[in-house]
Amino acid sequence: MSPAVRFNEAFRPVHECRKRYVVLKGGAGSGKSVDTAQFYILRLMSQPGRNLMCMRKSETSNRNSTFAVLEGAIRRMGVSKYWEITRSPMQMKCKNGASIIFYGMNDARQREKIKSVTFSKGNLTDIWLEEATEFSQEDVEILDDRLRGELPENLFYQIKLTFNPVSSSHWIKKVFFDRKDSDVFTHSTTYLDNAFCDKAYHRRMQRRKKLDPQGYAVYALGEWGETGANVLYNWEVRDNDGNPEKYDSAAIGQDFGFNHANAILTVGFKDGDVYVLNEIYVREKDTRELIELARERGISRRITMYCDSAEPDRIRTWRTAGYRAVPVSKEKGSIMAQIDYLKSRRIYIDSKCSNLIRELRGWRWQQDSRSGEYYDEPAPGEDDAIAALRYAIEGERKSRRVRSVKL
């Protein structure tokens, strides 16, 4: 077997490393996940007796991440005939007996499953934690305990963590980067190190550098933590065309409220930018009063309205009234994913949306009172219009994610 593979030279030190812990920090587009997948396919094919366990905090998240990128690597390398791939359950098995399995650690049941993992040939020798910042230190300790027992002389155990950096207070930084350990190898890359990164992506990153320098430092350059207090900087106030039909697409976001504000925003999308067209922001009105107000304000019934999923009865009432109301799925990490989407776009807010403007000016990251460091989590505060904005971009955000997976 002689797979055809193009490796990025920046990762050569990673490929040659035999240390137990390999920790890969990288900005978006650095190529660390693709390189890791190709490396594991080559390692398993060339070193019989090895087996790999791929981990995401949520087991199902593997399908569109580790599983998809490994399957793509097998296809690109021209070695599909040597691999048997099943999707339910997710598993890959090489003709030489090596296996790749996929697990999560969301609860005690999944942790117990990991303790009983066995293979028909060889041992569990390799563990890959993708989006490693999702895991707790305890999670990694449990996984580390699984790599034990005598191995043939040519084999060794290894755990690889790949991730985009988050808060500088994260345990991964303290355990692996801030102390010297002969068993640990750390490596950092950015899109600038990726020899296969296309010119359009470079232009996009340069655009982000201008729009959001703080976000660029973390997202693109792979620096630790948030470097500024405000969550968003890449927005401006202007007078927008209020007709949703003037845009490539449009959506409505609604955050339900009564004692606190009920916020409804209509948002347009054009040429990759986000336009907030109008705002309803009221308190102490029931759903029927809000529907009447939406009719008076001309809120379109033809545009999908993304709503807080915690209020299914209200969503049904809006649907009965003829609006295309749907719940927004609140997945783990969805708020940060929405923020990341907003950071990557220029946002134009109509001057009449005074409440959204006011909330954005006060939207800040949580800060440690002693160290002064910012956490990768927004501070509590008035954010009803912001929530409506987050909901409104969900359709665009998820459709972009699906397209990127298919590519």
Min mean pLDDT across 66-80, 188-202, 206-220 is at 206-220
The percent of residues in the chain predicted with pLDDT above 70, rounded, is 94
48 and 147 housed in the same domain: yes
170 and 98 housed in the same domain: yes
34 falls within a domain: yes
215 falls within a domain: no
286 falls within a domain: yes
Residue tagged 């988050």 (tokens): 166
Which domain, by its residues, includes 101? 9-200
Predicted TM-score of the model (pTM)? 0.61
Is the model's pLDDT at 403 over the cut of 70?
no
Is the model's pLDDT at 353 over the cut of 60?
yes
What tens digit of pLDDT does each residue of 61-99 get? 888 889 999 999 999 999 999 999 999 999 999 999 999
Domain termination site, one of 181, 200, 219 = 200
Q: Would you say the C-alpha torsion 355, 358, 362, 365 has a positive or negative sign?
A: positive
Mean pLDDT of 137-165: 93
355 falls within a domain: yes
- φ/ψ of 314, rounded to 5, equals -65, -40
Is the model's pLDDT at 279 over the cut of 90?
yes
Neighbour-count burial of 366, counting CB atoms closer than 10 A to its CB (0-12 exposed, 13-18 middle, 19+ buried): middle
181 and 45 housed in the same domain: yes
276 and 375 housed in the same domain: yes
222 falls within a domain: no
163 and 262 housed in the same domain: no
Q: What is the pLDDT of residue 165?
A: 82
Region at 255 (left for phi over 0; alpha for psi -120 to 50; beta for the rest): beta
Q: What is the pLDDT of residue 228?
A: 58
Domain termination site, one of 150, 178, 200 = 200
Cα(220)–Cα(203) distance, integer angstroms: 12
Q: What is the pLDDT of residue 191?
A: 93
220 falls within a domain: no
Q: Find the CATH number of the domain harbouring 283.
A: 3.30.420.280
Q: What is the pLDDT of residue 370?
A: 72
What tens digit of pLDDT does each residue of 337-350 get? 899 899 888 899 99
Q: What is the pLDDT of residue 402?
A: 35
276 and 146 housed in the same domain: no
21 falls within a domain: yes
Mean pLDDT of 160-166: 88
Cα(268)–Cα(83) distance, integer angstroms: 45
Nearest one of 7, 1, 55 to 31, comparing CA atoms: 7
142 and 244 housed in the same domain: no
Q: Find the CATH number of the domain harbouring 63.
A: 3.40.50.300
pLDDT class of 380 with cuts at 50, 70, 90: confident
193 and 280 housed in the same domain: no
Which residue has better confidence, 400 or 49? 49
pLDDT class of 213 with cuts at 50, 70, 90: confident
148 and 256 housed in the same domain: no
Cα(65)–Cα(60) distance, integer angstroms: 9
Q: What is the mean pLDDT of the chain?
A: 89
374 falls within a domain: yes
56 and 102 housed in the same domain: yes
> How many domains in the chain?
2
Domain termination site, one of 200, 227, 262 = 200
239 and 182 housed in the same domain: no
Are residues 130 and 66 in contact, defined by beta-carbon separation less than 8 angstroms?
yes
262 and 186 housed in the same domain: no
